[in-house]
Structure 1
Amino acid sequence: MVDVAVVQTNELGDRSYIAHDGQLAIVIDPQRDLDRLQAVLDEHGLRCAMVLETHIHNDYVSGGLQLAHQHGAPYAVNGADEVTFDRQSVADGDRLDVGDMQIQVVATPGHTDTHLSYVITGGHTPAAVFTGGSVLYGSVGRTDLIDPARTEELTRAQYRSAHHLAGLLDDDARIFPTHGFGSFCSSGSAAGGQDSTMGQEKARNDALTAPDEDTFVAKLVAGLTAYPAYYAHMGARNRDGAGPVDLSPPHQVNPAELHKRISAGEWVVDLRDRTAYAAEHLSGTIGIALGQQFATYLGWLIPWGTSLTLIGENPQQIADAQRQLVRIGIDRPDGSAVGTPQDLADGHDLRGYRRATFADLAAAQQAGDPVTVLDVRRDDERAHGNVPGSTHLPLHSLLNNLDKVPPGPLWVHCASGFRASIAASLLDRAGHDVVLIDDEYATAVDSGQATG
């Protein structure tokens, strides 16, 4: 018998897994905040007997080495990966035993050169197959993270790996990917969902339903989009092996010190929702609302290594932000402050800016008001439609292109308001007059204000 417990990390669009026989557990692709995994082990009365890594991750810092140390368990990593820590080297064709479970190691290059999948069997249950960034639900992992110049080569490898797994496994084999639930490591038409089998994937997966390899390669490569800048730092961190996390409360910063940090140009990030931030905030701060996309966009935008101070309405907001940040290698904020803008103002003026809808934009344009519409969506989104006459600067490139921002009042939009709210805060910080279009782009399309 092989049972599988799923530990979701919705904020990054990933999953970790605990495969077990009722007593011993195999943990696959653990995230860094291990207390969540430990709680599942404790709940089921399991002992972690082995940790498996499908690949050197690009989108998060692995907790695998630390988990293995905590439990005195072998840490299985591809022997071809250049790492600085001791591990149990594994390779294609290896077979391992843990209790009543058998592990078959399968090379599935594509997402990375050394990517592995693990087929775990035991008893009479169908095989559980942990595919990492290879076969996802409906699609596969992206193939441009190792070297953009090798994207086509790795995409062809990804296609062949998917077909290799499809030929190796029975249709009832249960598929458990790490990516594909919102992660930027996904590509193509990832289907999400709670579960899948190889039979289901043969019927719907991009790699398994394409008429041929060339068609698949052309479609996947054409669909690749921008990915977070912090990915550049994850591989090196994972090859070195990350130590334990410290989620204790960061140093409390008083209002006077907070303003010194703001004046010095440090990143002081306000975690409140975008409505509250737009209404009133400390001048010079950056608004990134705490939610599922918080760490992704903070990590994408912050100059790596910059001093970071968090502002929250309460200590729990700070703690939740810390947990998200350690997963991407921002181990400790340099400080935090809790309170309302009035509490933290310390005699300094507060700022705010207007929130509006696309209908408000139409009214302003009809009234002849000076209006510049700034679209901060990605290039691939812009290619499908736009507000005629709008300026386009993707959010992820905004800080490097502030000199290209038009003068005058800026009406800032994205697809739903979240990214536009971050852009508005960055532009407000830079001294621009901004209006946040806190509205769905689809409404502008429906009203005829935008194409798409």
Structure 2
Amino acid sequence: MVIAVVDEGLGNSAYLVDLGDGRALAVDASRDLRALRSEAERRGLRVAFAADTHLHADFLSGAPQLAASDGARVLASAAGERAFEHVALHDGDEVDLGGLTLRALATPGHTGEHLSFLLLAGPRALGVFTGGSLIVGAAARTDLAGPERTESLARAQYRSLRRLAALSDEVEVWPTHGAGSFCSAPPGAERTSTIGREKATNPLLLAGDEDTFVRRLTSGLGSFPPYFLRLAEANRLGPALIGRPRLRRLSAARVRALLAEGAVLVDVRPARAFAAAHIPGAISIPLRPQFASWLGWLLEPGTPYIIVRNPDQDAAEILGQALKIGYEAGAGELTEPWDGPTSSIPMLGPDRVGAVSVLDVRQDSEYAAGHVPGAVHVELGDLPARVAEIPAEPVVVMCAHGERAMTAASLLARAGHRRVRVLDGGPGDWADATGRQLGEEA
């Protein structure tokens, strides 16, 4: 039995394989092991093997933690030159799981040392863990090792996908990256597939030649959080083991002292609560599945940060998301009423936007699909470096629903902008309220 453990925020799937004797194989588990452990405990399983398909850029691996806490054997590519104890696998190597066999297939492309893992029952292939090689409807991006390697890795990806396509049509495809991932997975609900289905529908497998494949794969690659450039090496060295993390309790006086020393307030309350009242200078990053991505995108690594949350928001969720991308500089949380000044940011209904400047902070692809005519477009991830470009005049910030817009508004307010509003809704709501057409990129 193969159980997918989906991280909706990062758009990834880890896998837990029941080996039939109380042991399990974990594939591409992140450092936030809460969901995977819950699945294992519910089924009475102990993780005996932890396999990583590649040196992940979007999260820290949980394999070293599973080795330390569960005695799991870590299985990974020899080409990855990991600096901690593991079974270093080459193309064609096999690992006996006890009744099942895991065969390593070299499938470079997404990364240079990428492996896929073919799961065998005797001679029969049950499925293949494809990581960031073949994914549902696409293949993962090849630009994370730098622009100078993008094309050569894309050509390696072409060969890897054709190698996987040579497997039998009924073989299950279990990718790591899925919808919502910054690793170029297309939108859609499907997390798994089969070789036959991908051969029939995947535009990259339908590309007539290598050059066409490379153009399709590398055209329109979107932005990604800057921590992606650091985590592969952190995974090669091996993430530090986690003990019992907790948010340290901080008084208002201690918070003021830490802010004076350069700490940053991260307010994880819902956007509406932040809009009503917040501590001046706080950055709004609402606690939701995408919290980790925006925390890592907007804060420099090592920056001490202080959490402001509602009592009903789960501290373990905040810590789990932060730790899986290596953001361990949390100084604690404010745990007593704030006795200083507060600020607010009005939220406007779509019928009240009027003739003021509109700042759209969605991703490029979202903006191109339809936007308020005349809106200035700056992706949220780029905004900290481009705040000075935003005129100090009344501005309405918008995204798809309001969370990213509130984050952007908080960044503007932190930089000294005082006439900032947030659209309550998205471009579709504006079009419905005004009866006007959205603009589109040619």
2:393 aligned to which of 389, 394, 408? 408
Structure 1 residues 191-200 or 328-337, which shifts more?
A: 191-200
Contact 2:137–2:198 (Cα < 8 Å) also in 1: yes
Q: TM-score, normalised by structure 1?
A: 0.91
CA distance in 2, matches of 1:80, 1:97: 21
- CA 47–294 in structure 1, closer or farther in 2 if over 3 Å, else same: closer
Q: Which residue does 2:32 correspond to in 1?
A: 33
Give the Cα separation in 1 of the matches to 2:95 and 2:187: 31
What do the CA deviations read for 1:208-235 (whole angstroms, capped 9, x no partner)?
1223322222122112100011112211
Q: Does 1:225 align with 2:225?
A: no
Matches within 5 A, 1:194-213: 194-213=191-210
Write the distance in 2 (CA, Å) between the matches of 1:26 and 1:337: 40
Q: TM-score, normalised by structure 2?
A: 0.93
Instruction: For 1:42-61, list aligned pairs within 5 A.
Output: 42-61=41-60
2:415 maps to 1:430? yes
CA distance in 2, matches of 1:124, 1:389: 61
Give, in angstroms, the shift of residue 26 of structure 1.
1.6
- Does the CA-based 8 Å contact 2:282-2:410 persist in structure 1? yes
Correspondence for 1:450: 438
Q: 2:271 aligns with which of 267, 274, 279?
A: 274
- Match of 1:171, SS? coil
Query: Residue type matched to 1:397 in 2?
Result: D
The equivalent residue for 2:351 is 359
Residue matched to 2:236: 239
Q: Structure 1: how far apart are the matches of 2:296 and 2:287? A: 13
SS in 2 for 1:211: coil
Distance in 2 (CA, whole Å) between partners of 1:119 and 1:352 is 54
Q: Show the 5 A alignment for 1:47-446.
A: 47-122=46-121, 127-167=126-166, 169-187=167-185, 189-314=186-311, 316-338=313-335, 343-344=337-338, 346=339, 348-361=340-353, 364-365=354-355, 371-432=356-417, 433-445=419-431
Distance 2:437 2:249 in 1: 47
CA distance in 1, matches of 2:194, 2:313: 39
Instruction: Check 1:262–1:372 CA distance in 2 against 1; reply closer, same or farther (3 A cut).
Output: farther
Identity among equivalent positions (%) equals: 39
The alpha-carbon distance between structure 1 residues 333 and 392, as it changes in their structure 2 partners (threshold 3 A), is: same
- Within 2, Cα distance between the matches of 1:156 and 1:357? 48
User: After superposition, what is the alpha-carbon deviation per residue over 1:251-309, rounded to whole angstroms, capped at 9, x for unaligned?
Assistant: 11111222333444421111110011111111111111100111111110112211111
- Residues matched between the structures, number: 436
Instruction: Measure, in 2, the Cα distance between the counterparts of 1:105 and 1:85.
Output: 19
Q: Which runs of 5+ in 1 are unaligned?
A: 366-370
Asked whether the 8 Å contact 2:184–2:221 carries over to 1, the reply is no
Cα distance between partner residues in 1 of 2:210 and 2:112: 18
Q: Counterpart of 1:282 in 2: which secondary structure?
A: coil
Shift of 1:9: 1.5
Deviations 1:113-153 (A, max 9, x none): 11000001116975121000111111111111012122122
